[in-house]
Structure 1
C-alpha cells in the first residue's frame, strides 16, 4: 500500500480536531491536533525522513502521542483511533462541518435530528423547511445555511474538463428535449461557451408548466438524487461523474432571455445591462422590459442583440474581450468556423504506434462522421515509449494506407507523421524521409523543463526546416496536471507567420492547446490554423468538436482553418505555405 502523503496526514489531524470538538472533548486537546497540522503544513523537510530519524516529536507542538499517530498512519496507511472516532459520530458530519455557518456541534445535531449525511441532504432539508424545526435553528438559519452551501460548492466543486462533461450533458439534453411538454431546450453556462473547464451543468427549457417536466427529469435513470426543486428550477446530481445539473423551465416567451442569461459570462452581461439601460431597457432572464414595464417580444437571442443595435454574438465569444465593441461597430466575424465547414480531421494515431484502432477502423470512423480525409500522423522513431516508427515501418505503413484507401470509399487517409522536435530543434527524420510525406506535424514530447529562451529557440530552429508543416500542441500543457512550458509565444507566432508554419489547435480535452488567447494572437499575425483531434482511438475523432470550440472562442473564421479545404487543397496549401 502506498503511504499517504503529507497533505493527507495534515487533513487527518484536522479531522481529528473537528471530531473531538463534535464530541465535546477538552478544547485544549482538539487544538493540539490543529497546531500539529499547522506545524506539518509549514514543514519543508521530508516527513518520512523525520519519522525514520525519530525527530518528529522534537518539532514544537508535536508530542509523543501525536507523533505515534503520524507514524501509524505513514507506516500502515490507516489510523485506528481516527476510524474509531468517525464511527462514534453520524456519517457525513465531516462534510457538513465544512459548510460556512455550520459549526461542529450544530453539524452533529442536524445529522442526528434530521438524518442528513451530506451537503446535498442538508440543502434538501433546508429547502423543505425541516431545519427550522430543530431547536436552535429558524428561518434565518436556513437562509444562512443555503448561502453557506453555495459558497461551499463554489470552492469545493472541482471544475472538470470540457471533454468530460459535454458528452454527458448532450445525452441528458437529448433526453430533456423528449420530455412531455418541452418546447425548446439547450445547454447553458460555461459549457455552452465551450470553456476549457466547467463546473455544474446548466440546462434551460421552455414548457407551459414546469411540474410535469421536473417529475420526468427527476425520475430519469441518470439521476442519483434530487438536491432541490422549486417552481422554475430543479437541481439533481448524476450517477455519472457526480455531476450536478440545474434544469430551469420557463414559459417559451422567456426562453431566449433565460438562455442568454444563464449562458453568461457575467462580465459580458454586465456590459449588456449597461447598454440596455442607456436605451431605457432592462434585461433579465424573465425578458426585456421598457422603463414603464412593457415587455418586449424576444423570440431568440439574435433579437435581443438587435434591440441593443448590435450584431448577434455567438456564445463562445461572450467573455467581454472585445466582442461587444466589434458587434456595436458591425465588425464581428459572421463566418466563424463550424462543424459543417470541416472536411477533414488532423492528427490521428493507429495501432502502428500508440493508437488503439487499426487504420481501417480509423478510416471508417472518420467516414461515419462525414469527414473526407484523415491525416495519419504516428509518432516518430525517437518516441520509443509511444511505439514510434522507424523509417522502414513508415514505408510499410504507406502500403497499408494505400490498401485502406482502395477499400474504404469516401474518405482518404493522408500519409503523415507527428515528428518529434528534438532538444536541438532538429526534426526526428532526415529531410529525405520528410519530403515524401503529405503532412508533417512537429511536436515537443520530451525535455519540457527547458527554460524560456531554450524552448523558444528550439521551436524557432524547427521552423527553419522547410518540411515542417504544422506545429503540434504548441505549449505542451496537460490540464490540469502540467503547466505549459515557458515560451515567448509572440516570437514563435511571428516566425510561424514569416515561415508559413501552420499552428494546431489540439482538441484532446487535456490539452486544448492552443488556448483561446493564443488563437487570437495567431490570427492577428495571419497564422493559419488546423483544428485537430489528436486521436488515439476511433472515438477520439470526436475531439475535433472541442478543438472547434476553442478555435471559435479565439474568433477563428472558416478561412483561417485549413482543414475546411478538400484533401487535395489541404496538401497543396501546406506546401504552398512553406514555399512562400
Structure 2
C-alpha cells in the first residue's frame, strides 16, 4: 500500500517533532519556534489543508514562508519528509521518547546522551538505578529519583488509552468524509468516543447506507491512513498515522442503525443491565435489533425508542456507565436538562501574551467571539508563577487598561478582568486582598508543591477558600492524565467547604486535565456546589476545549443551572459574588 497523504493533525505532529530535534541540535530559538508556530497555524485551520497545498496557497498563512510551505506540501502529498528523516537519523531513536518524560527538556536529554550514552528510556532507567546520573553537572540524587518516578508514570501510560482530545479531531475529520459519501444516511461515532470517556482505545464508527462499499472505500483511502488492516463486506479497519490509532467502521442498513449504535456505544456494564431489564419484559436486545419472545422484530428508529419500550427515560451516551443512571431512568428522575455546549455564554480561564499565552488579548477576544461566545475571562498567572510569566501587581493594573481598549475595539464582546492566582503552600493567595477585590473573577489554583501529604494539601485548599476574594478553585486535583497523578486530597472535605463558603469549582476542559473529573462533578452537584466549565486556553486553538469541559460536566450529571457561565457576563459576575455573600 502506498503511503497515504497526511491530514493537518499528523503534519502538525511531525512539525513539532522537528522542533524538538532542532532543539537537540542546538539550533537557534527563532528557527525552532517557526515549526511550532506552523503547527499551531495548521491545527487552527478551518480550511482543507489538502486544498491549500494543491492550490499553492500555504504561504497565505501567517508565519509560513516558502521553505515551510514546501516541507508541509511534501508531508501532505507523500506522507513523509526527507528533512525530518535526516534529523531523526542524527540521534538515537529513543531520545525523542526520553523527551516525553515529565520535566525532561532537550538540554537535559542531550547531556544524558553525551555524558552517559543514554539513548533510550530503558538505558536512562538503568543509569539512574546505577547512580550514574547524579555524577553529571546539574543532576543529583534527587534528580535520579524524580526521573525514575517520571519513567514509571510514562511506562504506565504506554500502550494505554489515548486522550479524548487527541483522538476527537481525527474522528470528526473521518465523520465529515463519510457524511459526504453518496448514499450514506446516518453516521456516528460509538464506543468511548461517543460516551466522551477521558481516554479512548480503538475508535468505532457506524454508518447506514443501502450499499456498504462506498463508505468502506472512503475510510480505506482517507488521508492519514497508515495501514489497511482489513476490509470485508460490511466492516473496514485501518490504523491512522496520527497517534497509531485503530479505527473500525461498520456499515449496515438504516433500519438496524439505532440498535447497532446503542450496542457499540456501550458501556458493557450499562448494556448488561439493560438486556436484563429487556429479558424480564419479554424482549431480546442486541446489535441486530430488539426482538419479542416470539422472534418478531420491533421497529427501532432511534435509541430513545429502546428506552421508551422498556418504560425508561432516555439515557444520554455520556451517562451510560452503570453508575445509577438506570435506576434513575426507571424512576423518571434522570436529569433531562444536562448542560449543552450551546448553553455556555462565556469561556472561563484564559491566558494571553501577558503571561504564558501565545496570542494577544484582542486575538483571543476575536477568536472567542467567532466561536459564538459573549465573553472571555482573562486570568493570567500571578507573580509567584515566575516560570509562566506571572504578573506583578503593577503589570496586572496595566493589563486592565488594555482590556478596556480591547472591549471598545471588539463590539458585542467583553473581556472580564480576572486572575489565576497561585494558592501558596499555606493556602494564602499570591496577591494582596486589596488587589483581588478589584477583579471581576478570581481563580485560585495550585501549580507547585504537589508533594504535600493528603492532610496538608486538603488544608491548603480549605484555607484558600476561607479568603472571601476567591471565587473559583481551578483544576482542583492538579492531575495530568498519563503524566501526573492527582495530588492527595480529601475531596469530600473540599467540596463540603466549597458548599459552605460559596466557592465555585472549575471543570477544566484541557484534554490532559479534565479536572474536576466526572465523579467529582457529581459529588459537587449533589452538594449544591456551583461549577464553571473552562477552556484553560493558552492560545486561540485551545478555546474549543470547552467541548471537553461540557462533556465532563454532563458525565457528572450537571444541569445547565449548575454551571454559572451559562449566564450573560453581568449575571455571571453577580452570581460569583452572590455565592460568596451567602
- The 3-state SS of whatever aligns with 1:467 is coil
Displacement of 1:242 in angstroms is 2.0
Question: What is the CA deviation profile of residues 33-62 of structure 1, one whole-angstrom value per residue up to 9, with x for unaligned ones?
Answer: xxxxxxx99999823559x9xxxxxxxxxx
Match for residue 310 of structure 1 among 292, 308, 312: 312
How far did 1:3 drift?
11
- What is the aligned counterpart of 1:47 among 112, 127, 130? 130
1:353 — aligned with what? Answer: 355
Superposition deviation, residue 157 in structure 1: 4.5
Q: Does the CA-based 8 Å contact 2:344-2:565 persist in structure 1?
A: yes
Q: CA RMSD in A?
A: 2.2
1:337 is matched with 339
Displacement of 1:230 in angstroms is 2.0
Instruction: Measure how far apart 1:4 and its partner are.
Output: 7.3
Matched, 1:223 2:306: no
Q: Which residue of structure 2 lines up, in the alignment, with residue 474 of structure 1?
A: 476
In structure 1, what is the Cα distance between the partners aligned to 2:188 and 2:125?
48
Deviations 1:277-314 (A, max 9, x none): 00111111111111111011100000111011100000
Offset of residue 224 of structure 1: 2.1
Which residue of 2 is the match for residue 244 of structure 1? 246
Cα deviation 1:337-369 (Å, max 9, x = unaligned):
001111000000000000000000000110011
> What corresponds to 1:137 in structure 2?
none
| Residue 171 of structure 2 corresponds to residue 169 of structure 1 | yes
| One of 493, 505, 508 as aligned partner of 1:506 | 508
- For the residues of structure 1 that align with 2:578 and 2:211, how far apart are their CA atoms? 59
For residues 126 and 415 of structure 2, the distance between their equivalents in structure 1, rounded to whole angstroms, comes to 56
Structure 2 spans left out of the alignment, 5+ residues: 1-90, 99-122, 136-156
- Cα deviation, residue 212, structure 1: 2.3
Distance 1:219 1:511 in 2: 34
2:495 to 493, 496, 520: 493
The residue number in structure 1 matching 2:374 is 372
Partner of 1:417: 419
Q: 1:272 matched to which residue of 2?
A: 274
Contact 1:418 1:443 in 2 (8 A): yes
The match for 2:519 among 517, 520, 530 is: 517
- TM-score normalised by the chain length of structure 2: 0.74
1:239 to partner: Cα distance: 2.3
User: TM-score, normalised to structure 1's length?
Assistant: 0.74
Q: For the pair shown, which has the larger CA radius of gyration, 1 or 2?
A: 1
Contact 1:157–1:199 (CA under 8 A) maintained in structure 2? no
Residues 356 and 536 of structure 1 are in contact (CA less than 8 Å); yes or no, is this contact kept in structure 2?
A: yes
Which whole-Å CA distance do the structure 2 matches of 1:469 and 1:555 have between them?
A: 22
Paired positions, count:
446
Alpha-carbon distance in 2 for matches of 1:173, 1:322: 31
Unpaired stretches in structure 1, ≥5 consecutive residues: 9-39, 53-154
- Matched with 2:386 is 384
In structure 2, distance between residues paired with 1:506 and 1:45: 35
- Contact 2:238–2:246 (CA<8 Å) still a contact in 1? yes
SS in 2 for 1:182: coil
Q: Which of 545, 550, 553 is residue 552 of structure 2 equivalent to? A: 550
**1:89-128 CA deviation, whole Å, 9 max, x = no partner?**
xxxxxxxxxxxxxxxxxxxxxxxxxxxxxxxxxxxxxxxx
1:570 aligns with 2:575: no
Q: Is the 8 A contact 2:174 2:222 kept in 1?
A: no
Residue by residue over 1:131-172, the C-alpha shift from the partner in whole angstroms, topping out at 9 and shown as x without a partner, is: xxxxxxxxxxxxxxxxxxxxxxxx984311011011110111
How far, CA to CA, are the matches of 1:520 and 1:375 in structure 2?
25
* Structure 1 segment 35-434 matched on structure 2, within 5 A: 46-47=129-130, 49=132, 157-434=159-436
Indicate the residue corresponding to 1:72 in structure 2.
none
SS of the aligned residue for 1:437 comes to: coil
CA displacement 1:367-426 (0-9 Å, x = unmatched)? 011000100000000000000001110111000000100011121100000000001110
Q: Please, which of 437, 441, 446 is the counterpart of residue 439 of structure 1?
A: 441
Distance of 1:329 and 1:554 partners within structure 2: 19
Displacement after TM superposition at 1:201 (Å): 1.1
Contact persistence 2:177–2:218 (CA under 8 A): no
- Separation in 2, partners of 1:432, 1:177: 56
Structure 2 Cα separation of the partners of residues 260 and 224 of structure 1: 29
Pick closer, same or farther for the CA change 1:174–1:484 going to 2, 3 Å: same
> Distance between the aligned counterparts of 2:128 and 2:445, measured in 1?
37
Question: Kindly tell me: are residues 156 and 487 of structure 1, through their superposed partners in 2, closer, same or farther at Cα, counting changes over 3 Å?
Answer: closer
* DSSP 3-state at the match of 2:182: coil
Q: Which residue of 2 aligns with 1:534?
A: 536
- Give the C-alpha shift of residue 225 in structure 1: 2.3
